[in-house]
Amino acid sequence: MPIVNSFQMLLDAQNRGYAVAAFNVENMEMSQAVIAAAEELSAPVIVQTTPSTVRYASLDLFAANIAALAKYAAVPVAIHLDHGDSFDLAVMAIRAGYTSIMIDGSHKPFEDNIALSKNVVAVARPNNIPVEAELGKVGGKEDDSDGGAGSYTDPHDAKAFVRQTGISALAVAIGTAHGIYVNAPKLDIERLDNIRKQVDVPLVLHGASGISDSDLMQCIKTGICKVNFATELRVAYSDGVKDIISKSPDTYDPKKYGAAGRERVKQACMDKMRICGCVNCC
């Protein structure tokens, strides 16, 4: 089917008590793996790219790649700009065919974050494109996005932020971090519950790679409707490539590397979809 936007996906997840798994991809093979996993489990899925990923290739290339894969998929697929770092990039993504946008002004002062997010919403809404924004700051580093030690989302600020910006989804900071965890994170589930009570838009969890299954399921039970995975997919793809090289160092066909990485990513995606509870939700 044609690519869809993420709005109805997240509303369905919110109403039915599961989360849509959203996966960051870096190349064609990872995109194939994500959508193949979704098809096998009859799960809706969001395929994401970050600013550094689209600089590596281009918005047009990823949009065309994912649209081509989605065309023959039997499940709904959205293409999402993750951690969009400027108004201009958000606009370019919409023009390229992205069906979901995140604008990340979390590093800015509160009022500036509101202004940036509101401006992106004003451009996206006439195009029927939902907008995700972040309040508080998810710690750690992902590509060029460096949240440092992070800062928590204030529930009362969240209410004002959603009301003033008109965003469709809110990414919250409750103790997660991007990248690989050195120590197990301590998540503030009570804070998440308070945010859920203050806002009615779907809530998004970033930095989920490395969180325990039980913690992740608790977050979903408390109101998270979309969960982002990036680092674990990179590790899975790289492990597949390394395995081929270590076993057959004379291999020169890149398709063999790609196929091995793709299979590892597919299995990782299926594992996360099961934890998110979105299996057989199409």
Gap between the Cα atoms of 268 and 232, Å rounded: 8
Structure tokens, 237: 């793809």
Q: What is the pLDDT of residue 149?
A: 46
pLDDT digits (tens, 9 = 90+) for 161-207: 999 999 999 999 998 875 655 566 789 999 999 999 999 999 999 98
Where in the chain are the domains? 7-276
147-163 confidence digits (pLDDT tens)? 444 589 999 999 999 99
- Is 137's pLDDT higher than 90? no
Name the fold adopted by 7-276.
TIM Barrel (3.20.20)
Determine the pLDDT at residue 182: 53
pLDDT at position 176 is: 84
Positions annotated as catalytic residues are: 82
Q: For 74-108, what is each residue's pLDDT tens digit?
A: 999 999 999 999 999 999 999 999 999 999 999 99
What's the pLDDT tens digit per position in 37-66? 999 999 999 999 999 999 999 999 999 999
pLDDT band at 210 (very low <50, low <70, confident <90, very high): confident
Distance CA 29, CA 198 (A): 40
Check residue 180 and give its pLDDT: 54
- Phi, psi dihedral angles at 18 (to 5 degrees): -125, -175
What's the CA dihedral at 148, 154, 159, 161 to 10 degrees? Answer: -30
Taking the C-alpha atoms of residue 260 and residue 265, their distance in angstroms, rounded to an integer, is: 9
